[in-house]
Each structure stands twice: as structure tokens, then as C-alpha cells.
Structure 1
Amino acid sequence: MAQNFRIALIGGGNMGGALAAGWLRTKRGAVAADELVVIDPSPGEVVQDLASQSGVAVLPELTADAAATLELAVLAVKPQIFEQVATSLADALPVSTGVVSIMAGVTLNRLTMALGERAIVRAMPNTAAAVGAGVSVCVANEAGEALEKTVTRLLKTAGTVEWVADERMIGAVTAVSGSGPAYVFLLAEALAGAAFAEGLPRELADKLARETIIGAGALLAKSGKLPQELRRAVTSPNGTTQAAVDVLMGAGGGLPELVRQAVAAAERRSRQMGQDPGKR
């Protein structure tokens, strides 16, 4: 007997698993375990745990029976394999089933061409979704506007949700918040490495870098002040922080210019990924 699944998560990797865990996080979560099916032949550890602990169904492929009652399909596969899974999805998904894609670079037009005319939302979350502290930015096609409340409710389990009207903004969103956690992790790595080079034990160096970034983020979140205001407040003229900031703001534009170049490179790559496979 077929189950009455409401949501299919296509792809049970890191981001898909983070979203599913968020939906089921509380007793009265956004989605009941028996309403969710995860489609992945090799799901990640988080999804495997959800299957064993919460009873979430996991299938290697989306069958017609599993798809029959779906209201929403959330695409969380790697964009490089989208074309490989799109044909079977288009065949299995009812026309009434809306689609939410969290694949980087895959445009609304490309999604429509592959999956047919239907309500589609394109969303860009980030990895902090795993702890409910992420940020997602979404854009919908005309048919997908009716889905906005549902998508907002689902993605709020992962953190803040914002909407834009112009899909062209999603490339910049991907470059800033989608890829942004990696930039912060790199800063923590570099700061710990510098501390170790100055003679601190490795364990202490790692801890100081980690706790400093966590604390600075918390201060930024709770103070209500702009980053530049907080930076000026902690930078005494001719002090130790000023000496360090002078280096970071140095020749060639320093850190701000490097970050600008990094974001621009990520945005360009997002646009390249959005092209049809034959044009890349």
C-alpha cells in the first residue's frame, strides 16, 4: 500500500540532510516523518540517522506510487547531475507538485525546460542551516508565487528567509551567503595558523581562533551596529589592532579587495553553472 507522502527530498547529502533534520527537529516540526520521503541511492549520515530514529522513508529512486500524493519536491542534488535525474523526475512528478531547487546555478528557465510548466521556487540556503542559523534567499516563477508561504515556513527551520524578485540576484547571493561560510572557516584556519606561528600551542591556537570568530559573530548579531562601527570601536589609534588592520587594508586594496575578487569569481562560476550543459 502506497504511503501518502507530502514532500520528497531529492538528494540526501549534507544540505538535504540539514534541511530534513530541521523540518523534523521538534515534536511539532514543519513536516511529520511519515509525510517525508528522501530519494537517494546513497544517503548521507544525517539522513540515515533520521531513517533509523524517526522512521523517515528513504528510496533509491522516486516511484510513481511515492510521487502520487506529493505537494512538493525539494531538489538537493549536485547541479552537475541535475540532467541525469531530471527525466525520471519529470515522468514521476504530478503536474500539481511544486518544485523547490537549492541547486547552485540552475536557473528557473532550465528547471522549467527539464521538469515542465509547474510552480517552481529557486532557493539558496547555506550550511549553517544544519544548526538552524542559516540564511536562505528565494525567487519564484509566476506559478510559484503561491508556494511562497509554504517554502518560507519550511526554510525558516534553517534560519532567516529572504525573497527577491529578480533571479539575476541569486548569483551574487550564492557568492556571498551560499559560499560565505567557507570564507569564514578559511579565516579561522588562517588565524589559528598565525597564532601557532607566533608560538601558541596548536590546541590553544585553534580554540582562540574559533571562539574569537564565534564571539565576534554574536556581538555583530546582538549589538545592532554596522560591522565598520564595531571595527572602529575595537581599533585604538596606534594600538595593536591598528597595526594588524593596517596590514589587512594594505597595498592593492588588502583584504577588502581580495574578498571582492573572491565573491566576483564565485558569482561568475554560478552563472557558468547555470548555462545549458552543452554551453559550459
Structure 2
Amino acid sequence: MTGVRPLAQINGTVVLAGAGKMGGAMLSGWLARGLDPRRVVVIEPQPSNDIRSHLVKGVRLNASPHQCGTVAAFVVALKPQAFREAGPALKPYLEAATLVVSIMAGMTITSLGEVLGGHIVRAMPNTPAAIGRGITVAVAAADVDATQREVADGLLRATGSVEWVTDEGLIDAVTAVSGSGPAYVFLLAEELARAGIAAGLPEALAIMLARETVAGSGELLHRSELAAATLRQNVTSPGGTTAAALEVLMGEDGLRALMTRAVAAATRRSKELAK
């Protein structure tokens, strides 16, 4: 890819089907990066107040296919279960050559093509997209041309980093690692606080310590060029308190085994959603 196409240069309408948390984050990112609100149509039967706040800027809600004009990109941010029901009603918005960008877990390029047609990019973002710190992995169907890929990259990059792969089979594991990954990190903060309370800390202090420790460590990891393992080792003095804790966390039935099983379970479920 030679570069990211600025969103202001997209010719035609961008249609967003599904404006929940992830779809809403994408919409906010697009508008912040210069996409003309008048070029955006949101298909959402129950829009949130945040989505409605964009309407005064010119974003159109539930416009008909005829009212949309030429659709440059059709972005699907529905839950997979809802897509199976809504898909036939969405198809009239597309022409055979329309770019389709899906962020639905488990929905394969083949499945999307059978329901919608179009030239398909399948992507998996994650919830830090809400603050512009998401990570998205995308794969393009063989008939997606270079210009369409640039458009898709620009739309996805509005909420954070984007990585492209050529093997669609990797997306299920991507879903399990980065798509579901924020929940694992939030669980770490939750359980670290609970353990602090069990060790005698006041509840409010334990929650604050856990929250700030996870957030600060994540920011350190983000800014540092060092590997996570190196950063861990830098905190760990031989025979010290951290080493005592890591003996438990890195034991035979510790975090490595649990995380491997958790990611495998999420990967299986992602594959099941495609059936």
C-alpha cells in the first residue's frame, strides 16, 4: 500500500449499518478525520443519543437506497446474529462493485458475499477504538482493488492502527487475541483489585491501585520499544516480592495455560459463528 487515502477524498456515500459501540466509535473517528458528514448514512433502528448528536452535523439516518446515491463503501457493524436477519434488507444499498467492509466476528468473506455481494474487506477491530487506540486486522477478497483497499484502510485507521493479512483463516485467532483481548485486561484489573481487598486493602484503594497499575503498565508497554518479557523482567528482582507472585502466575497451571485455553475457546467460537 502506497499510503492512506484521506477520508475527505472519498467520492460517494459511506453507509454504516449498525451504530452500536464499535460502529459509533468508527463514525466519530471518520468525522474527526475529515469525512464530510453529509456523505454519511447510518442505518440503525435504535440510534443512541451519541449517534443522534451527529445528525445536526449532516449525517443522515435510515435514508433509503435511492437517497444514498453512489455508495463508495458499505460498512457492516452489526452483530452476526442480527446480520443474518437484516442482510436481505441491506442488499439494495449495494451494487456489484461496491466496497463492503465488515467488522462482524465470525462472518467470512464467502458468507458476506452470499448475502450482500460486493467487493469485501473483512476486519476485526477492538473496543479501544472508542478512544482512537484500537488495533484492527483486515483481509481483502481477491477482487478488492488497490483504490478500494486504500478507502477501507482509511475508514478503519480512523480508530487506531491497522494491520493487513492475506490469510482469512487468521481472523478467528485475531478475534480471540485482540478482538476479545480488552475483556481479558479488564478482568485482570478486576481480579487484581479483588486480591488486594483479600490482602487487607480498603476496597476503594484496591480498585484505584489495580486500575491505575493496569492502565499505566499498558501505556508503558505502548511507549516502550522493549518486549513485554523484558519489561516484566525489569520489574522482577531475584527473590523479591514480584518473583514470589510470578512463581504462582507462571506455574504449570498459571496464566500461560489459562490464556492458551481462553484464546483457543474464543477462536473456536469465532469459527462457530460463521456456520
* 1:48 partner amino acid: R
- RMSD over aligned CA atoms reads 1.5
Provide, for residues 151-175 of structure 1, a one-character-per-residue CA deviation record: whole Å limited to 9, x for no partner: 1111111111000000000000000
Task: For 1:8-23, list aligned pairs within 5 A.
Answer: 8-23=15-30
Q: How far did 1:5 drift?
A: 5.9
State whether residues 124 and 136 of structure 1, in contact with CA within 8 Å, keep that contact through their aligned partners in structure 2. Answer: yes
For the residue of structure 1 that corresponds to 2:90, the secondary structure is: helix
Q: How does 1:46-125 map to 2 (within 5 A)?
A: 46-52=50-56, 54-59=57-62, 63-116=64-117, 118-125=118-125
Aligned positions of 1:1-280 closer than 5 A: 6-25=13-32, 29-52=33-56, 54-59=57-62, 63-116=64-117, 118-146=118-146, 147-252=148-253, 254-275=254-275
Q: Give the drift of 1:45.
A: 3.6
Aligned-residue offset at 1:93: 1.9
CA distance in 1 between counterparts of 2:239 and 2:13 reads 61
* Bigger mean CA offset, 83-92 vs 210-219: 83-92
Contact 1:14 1:46 in 2 (8 A): no
Partner amino acid, structure 2, of 1:159: G
8 Å contact kept, 1:36–1:56:
yes
Paired residue secondary structure (1:204): helix
Give, in angstroms, the shift of residue 82 of structure 1: 1.2
CA distance in 1 between partners of 2:231 and 2:204 (Å): 28
| Partner secondary structure for residue 144 of structure 2 | helix
Q: Is the 8 A contact 1:22 1:132 kept in 2?
A: yes
Distance 1:45 1:192, change over 3 A: farther
Q: Distance in 2 between matches of 1:113 and 1:262?
A: 31
Q: Is the 8 A contact 1:139 1:167 kept in 2?
A: yes
Quick one: structure 1 residues 201 and 66, their matched pair in 2 at CA, closer, same or farther if it must change by over 3 Å?
Answer: farther
Counterpart of 2:50, as a letter, is V
- Name the SS for the 1:144 alignment partner: coil
Measured in 2, the distance between the counterparts of 1:167 and 1:133 equals 23
Structure 1, unmatched stretches of 5+, are 276-280
Identify unmatched segments of 5+ residues in structure 2: 1-10
TM-score between both structures, scaled by the size of structure 2: 0.92
Distance 2:228 2:145 in 1: 34
Alpha-carbon contact 2:71-2:93 (below 8 Å) kept: no
Q: Is the 8 A contact 2:13 2:69 kept in 1?
A: no
Cα distance in 2, alignment partners of residues 198 and 56 from structure 1: 52
**Counterpart AA for 1:227:** A
Q: Note the C-alpha offset of 1:189.
A: 0.4
CA deviations on 1:34-92 (whole Å, 9 max, x unpaired) are 1111101002343123224x332211xx5222343211110000001212111122233
Structure 1 distance, partners of 2:68, 2:133, is 31
> TM-score, length-normalised on structure 1?
0.90
Match for residue 278 of structure 1? none
Following superposition, which runs of at least 4 residues in structure 1 exceed 4 angstroms of deviation? none
Task: Give the distance between the partners of 1:196 and 1:49, measured in 2 at CA.
Answer: 41
The alignment-based identity, stated in percent, is 48
Conservation of the 8 A alpha-carbon contact between 1:5 and 1:37: no
Aligned counterparts of 2:20 and 2:219: Cα–Cα separation in 1: 28
Aligned letter for 2:36?
A
Mean CA deviation greater in 40-49 or 171-180: 40-49
Q: What is the deviation of 1:229?
A: 0.7
Q: Distance in 2 between matches of 1:49 and 1:242?
A: 50
Shift of 1:233: 1.1
Please give the alpha-carbon distance, in whole angstroms, between the structure 1 residues aligned to 2:167 and 2:66.
36
